[in-house]
Structure 1
C-alpha cells in the first residue's frame, strides 16, 4: 500500500529520511502512519482484504488506535471507523513500553508487574522446589536483560531504594556485609558437594534446605503461624517436638533407619546428634 501511495507512513529523519509504515514480530503488528482519513480508510480496507485472502481473522477488539498530538475526538471517530478502541501512550509492544521516560521509576512498572505475574502465577504453585528455582532464574534473567537491552535503568533522577541502606544505596560490599552479618549454621567445607553437577537437583535442594532448617517440619510451621502449638509433636506419635534433628536423627521410628544404612554400606559409626555432623559423617564414609 505504501508503494502504491495508498497509505502514507511516518517519515523519520531530515535530508536522508526513512519512511516507517509498520513493525511486525510474529502476530504482533504495529502500523505507523500520518494523520489522515485516507490512511484510516486504507488501513480498514487492507486489513479486510488480508482476512479475505489469508483466511485469518483480525481481532479488532484487541487492537488500539494511538495518536501522538492528535485531537481526542478525531481519534475516537477514526477508531470507530476501524472498529477498534482508542489507546493511550505509553503502550506496550512486545512487552516493552513505547514512549515514556526510562529514567522514571513509573516507566518500569509494566516490567516489574510482568515479573511478578510470572513468579506468582497459579501454575507456579504446582511446581516442585527445583522447578520454582529454575523458573526464578529464568524470569529474573530473561525479562530484565531483555528490557535493559533497549533502555537504561534509572540512575540519578530516580533510583531504586535499597532498604538495608537507603542513604548509600545498593553496593556489592553492602550485600556482602548483610549476608555475613547474619547467623549462619556451621557447614563443613565439603558441604559444597551437595551442589555437584552429578547430584540430582531435587536432592541438592533437599540437602540445602535440611542443613539450614528450612524444611516444613511442624516446629517450623508453628513458628510461621501455620499450625497451632498443640500440633507441634512428631507425626509418628512418639510425643516429641518435630524438628529436623528429631525427625531425621533421634526419632525412634525414622532414626532407626541409619544403623541399617551403615550396615548396608558396610561401615561402622555412632549416631550423630546434629544434622551437620551427620552429613559430615557420611561424607567421611565416602572418603571425600
Structure 2
C-alpha cells in the first residue's frame, strides 16, 4: 500500500483498489513452496500441534542444519549431531535416523502394521494417509 492524498493505493492491483482475492494471490505467491505434493485431509481428531508439526515438515520448515543453511544461518556442521553419519535433514532426522526407525518399528508392531522401510518423510506420510 502506498499513502496518497485521502487514503492508500494498493499497488499490487492494476487499478490500485484493494481486493481480498488480490491480497490472497499475493500472499500465496510469497508463501514457501511445499516440500512435497502430498495432499492431506486435515482431520480435527488429530491434535492441532501434531497437524502444525506435519504441516511444517511438509513445508520443509523444521530447523535442521540443511534448512538453516538455506536461510543463511551459519551452522557449525551440517552433519547430524546425534549420529554424525548423515547430513541433518528432515528426512534423516524423522525417517532414517536409527532412533526414528526403532521408534517406528515399535509403534508399527504395537498397531499390528507390517514394518515398511521409508527413505523420505513424504513416503511415510503417503503410507499413513493411504
Q: TM (normalized to structure 1)?
A: 0.37
Query: How many angstroms does 1:180 deviate by?
Result: 6.5
Query: How many angstroms does 1:243 deviate by?
Result: 0.8
Q: Which runs of 5 or more structure 2 residues have no equivalent in the other structure?
A: none
Mapped contact 2:65–2:78 kept (Cα < 8 A): yes
2:82 aligns with 236
CA RMSD, 1 decimal = 3.0
Query: How many angstroms does 1:255 deviate by?
Result: 2.7
Query: In structure 2, what is the Cα distance between the partners aligned to 1:178 and 1:237?
Result: 39
Aligned partner of 1:187 among 38, 43, 49: 38
Aligned partner of 1:271 among 117, 124, 127: 117
Mapped contact 2:13–2:22 kept (Cα < 8 A): no
Moved over 6 A (4+): none
Mapped contact 1:219–1:241 kept (Cα < 8 A): yes
CA change 1:241–1:174 in 2 (3 A) is same
Query: How many angstroms does 1:174 deviate by?
Result: 6.1
Q: Secondary structure at the match of 1:253?
A: helix
Q: Secondary structure at the match of 1:192?
A: coil
Higher relative CO (CA 8 A, sep ≥ 6), structure 1 or 2? 2
* Residue 60 of structure 2 corresponds to residue 209 of structure 1: no
* Residue 73 of structure 2 corresponds to residue 222 of structure 1: no
Q: TM (normalized to structure 2)?
A: 0.74
* Matched residues, number: 125
Q: Which of these two proteins has the greater Rg computed from alpha carbons?
A: 1
Q: What is the correspondence of 1:91-170 to structure 2 with a 5 Å cutoff?
A: 157-162=6-11, 165=12, 167-169=14-16, 170=18
Query: How many angstroms does 1:179 deviate by?
Result: 2.4
